[in-house]
Amino acid sequence: MAKKIAIAGATGAVGRLVRQMLEQRNFPYETITFLASQRSAGKTIQFKGETHTIQLLEPNVFDDIDLVIGSTPDDVAETFVPWAVERGTIVVDESGYHRMLDHVPLVVPEVNPDAITGHQGIIASPNCSTTQMVVAMKPLHDFSKIKRVVVSTYQSTSGAGVAGQADLIEGTRNALEEKPWDYQAFAHPIAFNVIPQIGSAKHLGYTSEEMKMVWETQKIFGDDSIQVCPTCVRVPVSNCHSESILVETEEPISAEQAIQLFEAAPGIQVMDNLEQGVYPMPSNSDDRDDVFVGRIRKDISCENGLAFWCVSDNLRKGAATNAVQIAELLV
């Protein structure tokens, strides 16, 4: 199956990476179609040395598509996914629109690959801040059930797409020249600043981004009893999200045990030597597919607590790589 594939939102920050992933991972296909809005339709892009014309995302394009990876905003996914499903096209959706629907599996291949079976035409890929956290939680949770997580994020501007990246670069350039910049993706200047709000006010004083981390984590592990307390913060970093994570487990896990568990887990790399200044950062995790962990230590405030630092490329594992891995599971 999936001989005829498409990328919806092929021109966006994530869509560009999906193109790169399909190319690098030699994803099998017979034909490939690139879809975007009226703004991009008719323009050309290169893929595997060939020139392709971007097509408008409209219902009939799915008449002859087996599998589409969708990297569009939520409202666009809400509209186009039914067009695809009605025509028998399987959708791997990166938007937030379908993630919490009961009939839609929410999949991270290193954590819950079996959830993909029994899908009804749509498989969702989680929010970027959730994905790296659940990959890191998985080996710990398998060793001893995680009861509670306290997570603070330091999220890059590429998490807000092409507009977010432009805001960081142009906002910083203009700030240095003491000129104003009309921010498109952020409600406050991101140059030389941090913004403790991602998304809108959602629930009990938490933002929509924070509640995604709560609800998606519980859905992926199939366990509503896992308590998650997130604070999501936008920082002036171009790419890669960082997270300070504290987990409380039923049985204690020492730092040494945690390092062994992380080292044995798929998709995780340990960078942990405080004396030598070795730990993951956006600068050494960028453009890589793994989830990187370091600063692994006992939480000295909590008997069964473990603290660590986690960095991952939000456009790759947080989005494009995870979606392409799901597509690989399908084929």
Binding positions for ligand NAP, rule: CB under 6 A:
9-15, 36-37, 39-40, 57, 71-74, 76, 94-96, 127-128, 158-159, 161-162, 314-315, 318-319
Q: Residue 156 or residue 249: which is nearer to ligand NAP going by CB?
A: 156
Q: Residue 23 or residue 78: which is nearer to ligand NAP going by CB?
A: 78
128 is catalytic: yes
229 is catalytic: no
Q: Residue 81 or residue 258: which is nearer to ligand NAP going by CB?
A: 81
Q: CB 128 → ligand NAP: shortest distance, Å? A: 4
Q: CB 265 → ligand NAP: shortest distance, Å? A: 21
Q: Residue 10 or residue 134: which is nearer to ligand NAP going by CB?
A: 10
Q: CB 264 → ligand NAP: shortest distance, Å? A: 27
Q: CB 31 → ligand NAP: shortest distance, Å? A: 19
Q: Which of 98, 119, 128, 310 is catalytic?
A: 128
Q: Which of 98, 119, 141, 241 is catalytic?
A: 241
Residue nearest to ligand NAP (CB): 12
Identity of residue 62: F
Q: Residue 249 or residue 314: which is nearer to ligand NAP going by CB?
A: 314
Q: CB 304 → ligand NAP: shortest distance, Å? A: 31
Catalytic site residues? 128, 241
